Amino acid sequence: MNPCLQSSVYLDLLLSYSDPVDPEEIISDPVAAYKLLRQLRNELINIVKHIQPSFYQCNKYQDELELLEIPQLKDLDGAASGLIRLQEIYKLYPKDIMKEMLLSADEAYHVGLVAYDEDKFQHAFLWFWYSLDRLTEYSTTTEKELLLYLISSAYHFGSLPVAIYFNKQLLNLDPTDEEVRDQLNRLLRFQRKSNPDIFTLNTESRNYAKLCRGELDKRLSRSKVYQDGWDTVSQDRVSQSVFLQDDPVATRVSQRIADATGLSMETAESLLVQNYGIGGRFEPHYDALETGVNDRIATFLIYMSDVGMGGATVFPDIGVATKPKKGSAVFWYNLHKNGELDLNTRHAGCPVLVGNKWVANKWIHEFGQEFKRPCSLSEWE
């Protein structure tokens, strides 16, 4: 086949990968989204590697190839982190996260590696264990690799008996391996003279996780983070966002917020639309920036979509949780009338377990509210 004609056929194949029939259905299942991203990355890399030379012989296809966006490893790691967050917050085993699609041994191994690199050794252990159970003759991951990580993970989270158990399995693979035998003897010595480590979570972390799981009583009727004076990317917030500026719809929404709250929108920030995908969440935080001047006096949070499971907005310190419901909204004051931070407003967005979460935030500032919400000199207001 003519190289240029062959290139055009491959180009059509590449572009077809970029246009899923029902993207909403795919991304609503975090496991399916992870598998798709991994498969897309692997297959695109493989195709490009084989056809790139012929593409550059055909200048008319070169521009299309250069515009093609192949998912990066950091994108795949991010999707794996999303699965780990779901596991962590909702107390799930790997098999519990999966619905119709199961991860292969190699896929689960990758998720385990991400958890291990994040020092989440108990979660990593469960992924490595699942991977071990899913090993086949076609897996690129080896039993020895998995056993080594199972031993290390168990050791790091303080379970010497489990580490010893898998070390013995590793030794059974090759009884002549003196390094593995020495490691087993070291673990046995540690077990005789040490106490198991005790791991605890602070009250806020426990309440956050419990509220997300729906275990605490709820009083019902989740980018960039401002940090040290700069807008920075943070692992505390996992979402995509965009400010809507000079948009007619955003203007109408702002007017409705003004009507509902009685506050002025003159110094409010532009409407911020956010999407929380695989495991998307926002760790406990305050909306007030504590700048001392024209701070965020109030927050108006609009839910733009229903969420299958997860995604609640929770206030750990006061045990309040609100579930996403399309068309509903939550409003609260971040500051007392005396201008001090209201400590009860520390809140978080729970990870999205099933579905796709869209919200819009309107942060209302102090300037312009002097007569709409008068200041108070009382330390209690």
**Distance between CA atoms of 61 and 77, rounded to whole angstroms?**
31
The per-residue pLDDT of the chain, averaged, comes to 81
Query: Helix, strand, or coil here: 352?
Result: strand
The pTM score is 0.67
DSSP 269: P
Q: Cα dihedral angle (262, 263, 266, 271), rounded to 10 degrees?
A: -100
User: Residue 137, Cβ neighbours under 10 Å: how many?
Assistant: 4
Predicted pLDDT of residue 290: 86
What kind of fold does domain 217-365 have according to CATH? Jelly Rolls (2.60.120)
- Token code pair at residue 282: 């926002």
Name residue 352's beta-bridge partners.
Answer: 310
CA distance from start to end of the chain:
79
Environment class of residue 85 by beta-carbon count within 10 Å: exposed (0-12), middle (13-18) or buried (19+)?
buried
Name residue 300's beta-bridge partners.
Answer: 331, 362
**Distance between CA atoms of 363 and 297, rounded to whole angstroms?**
8
Alpha helical stretches, state H, 101-241: 105-117, 121-134, 143-156, 160-173, 178-193, 203-213
CB 235 within 8 A of CB 271: no
b vs e for 214-230, b when ≥16 Cβ sit within 10 Å of the residue's Cβ? bebeeeeebbeeeeeee
**Backbone angles phi and psi of 358, in degrees to 5:** -120, 130
Closest CA to 369 of 218, 254, 215, 261: 261
Whether the CA torsion 104, 42, 73, 225 is positive or negative: it is negative
Annotated domain spans of the chain: 217-365
Q: Which parts of the chain register pLDDT below 50? A: 1, 196-201, 217-238
CB 248 within 8 A of CB 206: no
- Token code pair at residue 102: 């199961």
Predicted pLDDT of residue 24: 60
- Token code pair at residue 40: 């897309």
Predicted pLDDT of residue 45: 77
DSSP 349: E
Question: CA-based diameter of the chain, in Å?
Answer: 83
**Distance between CA atoms of 227 and 320, rounded to whole angstroms?**
26
206-228 residue pLDDT tens: 677 777 777 654 433 334 444 34
What secondary structure does DSSP assign to 166-183, as a single string? Answer: HHHHHHHH-TT-HHHHHH
User: Residue 326, Cβ neighbours under 10 Å: how many?
Assistant: 11
